[in-house]
Amino acid sequence: MGFTLVTFHAHPDDESIATGGTMARAKAEGHRVVLVVATRGELGEFAPDALEPGETLTERRVTEAQAAAEVLGVDRLEFLGYRDSGMAGEPTNHHDGAFARADVEEAAARLAELLRAENADVLTVYDNHGGYGHPDHIQVHRVGVRAAEFAGTRRVYESTMNRDYLQSLLRRRAAEMPDLPDAPDAAEMDDFGSPAEIITTTVDVREFSDRKRAAMAAHASQIPPDSFFLSMPPDAFREAFGAEWFIRRDAPQIRETWLFDDL
């Protein structure tokens, strides 16, 4: 029996980094996969040569999202219609139409309409601090949780990062590959993700790491070939991104390995 997974993200490329493996695995196992993106990533940074003459970043990021969705096997891609708010503390957080200042009830009603239309079984959002404090990511948490209440979606997962695992991995990689470009320092991860002890669900996506990497590469304006992510050798990428982590809201004490168990 197939279920319907809806993944809710803030900007194009977030889906590939955070839940790309889960989406690809769900599709491979016969489930319906729906991707909803709150904004079109209008304020993302990009290299001067990333766009074609006359092309806007918004246009490019929509095209990239479509390409990544195809790689991951997404059945339906929708944009919720808000504008990128920019990083925390920037004036753009308060601009008209910015997702960070959207009315939560109104935005949740938009998402809930889609959840009901899709008869969604599982919804993924972000953890309560948006993984690393980005205002749009925090708003995804607020809006997604409320939308699930409106729609009666029976299972909601908070996508997060295993802070302890990633810090350990970064320390090891710093010693093994000191020249890896733009590699974050383990100490910089202190406020990222969640401690292992509160993570309920660790999804093995190693089999889909090539597809996840290809989906990330489709977002070339944000993740260029020489980025930290794509500069990793395939085996290192598989180790770093071969698991995706979630917190199951209705069962905080459970430890499981997949989103559709016991549905």
**Beta-carbon contacts of residue 233 (< 8 Å; ≥ 6 apart):** none
pLDDT for 231 beyond 80: yes
Q: What pLDDT is recorded for position 159? A: 98
Q: What pLDDT is recorded for position 165? A: 86
Instruction: Please indicate whether residue 1 or residue 185 has the higher confidence score (pLDDT).
Output: 1
- Please write the tens of the pLDDT for every residue from 124-171: 999 999 998 999 999 999 999 999 999 999 999 999 999 988 878 777
Query: Residues of 95-105 as b/e, b for ≥16 C-beta within 10 angstroms?
Result: eeebbbbbeee
Write phi, then psi, for 80 (nearest 5 degrees): -75, -20
Percent of the chain with pLDDT over 90: 79
- Distance in angstroms (rounded) separating the CA atoms of residues 82 and 223: 22
Q: What pLDDT is recorded for position 34? A: 98
**Beta-carbon contacts of residue 54 (< 8 Å; ≥ 6 apart):** none
Structural domains in the chain, CATH included, are 4-164+194-248 (3.40.50.10320)
Q: What pLDDT is recorded for position 63? A: 97
Question: Model-level pTM?
Answer: 0.93
pLDDT for 190 beyond 70: no
Question: What's the mean pLDDT when you consider all of the chain?
Answer: 92
Which residue intervals of the chain are DSSP H helices? 14-28, 57-72, 104-118, 135-151, 163-176, 209-218, 228-231, 234-241
pLDDT band at 49 (very low <50, low <70, confident <90, very high): confident
For the chain, the maximum distance between any two Cα atoms, rounded to a whole number of angstroms, is 53
The HSE-up count of residue 113 (CA atoms within 13 Å, CB side) is 7
pLDDT band at 36 (very low <50, low <70, confident <90, very high): very high
Q: What pLDDT is recorded for position 191? A: 77
pLDDT for 173 beyond 80: no
